[in-house]
Amino acid sequence: MTFQERNGGESKILSFNGKGSGIYILPHLKAAIATRSNFEASDGDILLASSMKTGTTWLKALIPSIINHNPGGEEEQEDPLLRKHPNELMPSFEVQLFKENPNPDLSGMLSPRLFRTHMPYTMFPESVKNSGCKIVYITRDPKDTIVRVIMALH
């Protein structure tokens, strides 16, 4: 592993293994490395992967609603978004799951387990690449993404 430090205001911004691995703020980089080292994917997992500011929140709301959709079923299911924020329905590897604990116990999560990440595919754990889990990837016109990132920073 190699790290390149870059100036980024008050936070240290680091890239992991150079080209194609992404740029991270230090706590998120540590969580991304812990994810890569410790996460064990299951065939039923669904992983939402994206760059920053590309429409992730929109899909974080749609995916759980689609999975829990029960038209005409005997039991009326309440839309999960009525009770929980999309961040709770699809926790982030870098921000929620692996940031505080580098090896969290995820065995209690119901299948299909829903996760999200801003890690590029090159940094995904081998268990994700070798399993039958589903990867939903969202992208956006790079010009729009740059505008959204600049707006978020100011």
As annotated, the active-site residues are: 118
Q: Determine the residue type at 150.
A: I
Q: Which long-range contacts (CB under 8 A, 24 or more apart) does 137-142 make?
A: 137/49, 137/50, 138/48, 138/49, 138/50, 138/54, 138/55, 138/56, 138/59, 139/50, 139/51, 139/54, 140/51, 140/53, 140/54, 140/55
- Residue 116 near residue 45 (C-beta atoms within 8 A): no
